Structure 1
Amino acid sequence: MTDREREVYDLISQNPMISQEEISEKLKIARSSVGVHISNLMKKGYVLGKGYVLKESPYILVIGGANIDIEGYPTGKFQMKDSNPGVVKRSFGGVGRNIAENLAMLDLDTKLISLVGDDSSGRDLLDYCKRRGIDVSNVEVVEGKSTSTYLSILGAEMDMEVAISHMDIMDGMDERLIMKKQNLIRGAKLCVLDTNLPKGVIEFLLNNFDVPFVVDTVSLEKSRKIEGLYHRIDVLKPNLIEAEYISGVKIEGEEDVVAAGERIHELGIKNIFISLGKDGVYYKNQAESGFIRPPKTEVVGSTGAGDAFLSGVVLGRVLERSIEEQAMYGVANSICSLESKSNIPEDLSRKKIEEKLEEVKRCNFTKSI
């Protein structure tokens, strides 16, 4: 499917009764061209006939942040209130966007709902996402707004000295926008949310759409946004601090991790994956629970490991694996990230994660509860 065919397809999916004239107006192309694109979609099997009956294709929908990450660090001693010789790096980030890229690289049909500004950063971000296989036709470009940007300055020891987060564009993610995308949301096989979304939007999504929701807590503060909504969440991935807060259980050892997982499950969350950092993950649902330990890994970078883990879990769920193997997929994908200089490895693939999965299995560190 070409980019233009994708745009036509998405308009039809949102409104199966849309006319060719309406499509031509929305896409600013000739009506005759619309007819050619629809004919091609029919030949390829995406559109099945008159009335624009669409072939159902399972897809993962990610709703969350997309931003530009700018990171600077000195090549010598760091001096405050002075110009420091060093290195500045620019990359594409955002929890939701990172997860979407992981999923697309793992050969899953992935669509992203987010907001970017009408600036060069927004255009660069969208172009990059398209190259990585993410369907960004539902990312809204907001006039007069700047694309979300996160600027961090690291010290000589590569610890953050100061950061500035410019992400007010996400305030525009509201119920109106969600309702505009309601057919897309209802048609998703899974819907991944990150808690950078406004609290009201998270509540609206969880209370009004009957699709399996996978939620990344992002941080302790942002995890508070899902209080009272636990029963609507299919998958949750907290770290130890977030799990302690949600469960009310003080975590000082493995027995406490088990107790916290049990309590979180009692709150209504169906599948829990508590990240233990370098010690792996604890998983829990109605039928199974246990620990997965990672093989020894040479860590090159750690910033993308959490997003990679959740993406691996989603892959395991799509493949209808047990929760234990879903956790293994998560650990396998996080290892791919840890061993890479980039948040998301350039060579990430389904084959690569399957190879890492075998390493995780060979460790034989699974301990059932």
Structure 2
Amino acid sequence: MTQRPDIICIGAVLWDIIGRATSHMNKGSDVPGRITRNPGGVALNIAMALKAYGMYPALLSVIGSDEEGTELQGACARLGMNMDHVYRSNDLPTDRYMAVEGGNGLIAAIADAHSLEAAGDKILRPLRGGDLSGWSGLIALDGNLTLSLLEDIAHDPAFAAADLRIAPASPGKAERLTPFLSHPRATLYVNLEEAGLLLHRSYKTSKDAALALLDSGLHRCLVTDGPNPATAASRNNVLTLVPREVLVTRVTGAGDTFMAAHIAAEAEGLAEEAALARALDATAIYISGESY
């Protein structure tokens, strides 16, 4: 009998192509560094981090039937990912993400997630009458889906009983999460910039942004601000903690690491402060390249 997952991760599964340099970079910089290609995408990054914490996630996404897709499917399987419910498309190419990072952080990035957008609700078939129908547990959802599909999910009875944990995927897609501001079971994971874009205002601190999100009708949120204090806020409690200082060696995937660590901590039964502290520490370890 196939093991039933304890969380479903919905969104981007693609190839991450990342160029990293240790030197400070500006527009037009041409410097030596390293270029890597690894399985990535918000949903997959979250799933991999969750598995490292002992959880068993299943992925809902799309991968092309092209050579890159077959290679990606195999790479994900070797990482121990549950790919049983991923939609394989015969007419859509496998998605890709490309980023350049310098010693001063992310310089630029392009997310080519057009196949995920084009696949639409085909990726949700397992939840809508398929093997995962009637799901009432955790769902990690990323904003790489189209606004129309996210709106459908926000009002879909198939998701009504789920514990929805949602990330925008990038600042440019933050506004796509607007339908969840009034959802009774949605928790948003955003950074300070994304919170401002979502509410069409700017905020000085994560606490200011978190309180504004609650005022807008949101059920719960976690707002980060790089090395500055992060805030977890709900109707019952507002908690702010300061991340520890580290030397930043990478940034792509940091938000996914934070979200996964927090979800796993709460799944273990950790209290709010302990869960936020673990998520911040896991992120510090990730961006610094340290190891436990």
Alignment TM class, shorter chain as reference = 0.7 to 0.9
Q: Are 1:205 and 2:157 counterparts?
A: no
Q: Deviations over 1:110-152 (max 9, x none)?
A: 0000111112322222222222222111111111322111234
C-alpha deviation, 1:330, in angstroms: 1.3
| 1:206 partner amino acid | A
Q: Deviations over 1:290-318 (max 9, x none)?
A: 21112232333222211100001111221
In structure 1, what is the Cα distance between the partners aligned to 2:22 and 2:90?
38
1:148-227 equivalent positions in 2, closer than 5 A: 148-152=95-99, 160=107, 165-182=111-128, 183=130, 184=132, 186-208=134-156, 209-210=159-160, 211-227=162-178
TM-score by length of 1: 0.68
Q: Are 1:326 and 2:275 counterparts?
A: yes
In structure 1, what is the Cα distance between the partners aligned to 2:122 and 2:63?
17
How many pairs does the alignment contain? 284
C-alpha deviation, 1:154, in angstroms: 6.3
TM-score by length of 2: 0.84
Q: Which runs of 5+ in 2 are unaligned?
A: none
C-alpha deviation, 1:181, in angstroms: 3.1
Q: Are 1:101 and 2:53 counterparts?
A: no
**Bigger RCO (CA 8 Å, 6+ sep):** 2
CA RMSD of aligned residues (A): 3.1
Question: Is 1:173–1:197's contact at 8 Å kept on the other side of the alignment?
Answer: no
Q: Deviations over 1:312-333 (max 9, x none)?
A: 1111221233322221121122
Which has the greater radius of gyration?
1
C-alpha deviation, 1:84, in angstroms: 8.7
SS for the counterpart of 1:283 is strand
SS for the counterpart of 2:15 is strand
| 2:84 partner amino acid | S
| 2:240 partner amino acid | F
In structure 2, what is the Cα distance between the partners aligned to 1:324 and 1:73?
33
Question: Is 1:74–1:84's contact at 8 Å kept on the other side of the alignment?
Answer: yes
Question: Is 1:66–1:96's contact at 8 Å kept on the other side of the alignment?
Answer: yes
- Alpha-carbon spacing, 1:259–1:107, altered in 2? closer, same or farther (3 Å): same
SS for the counterpart of 2:227 is helix
1:130-145 equivalent positions in 2, closer than 5 A: 130-145=77-92
Q: Are 1:295 and 2:241 counterparts?
A: no
Q: Which runs of 5+ in 1 are unaligned?
A: 10-45, 47-56, 342-346, 353-369
Please identify which structure carries the higher strand content. 2
Please identify which structure carries the higher helix content. 1
| 1:230 partner amino acid | L
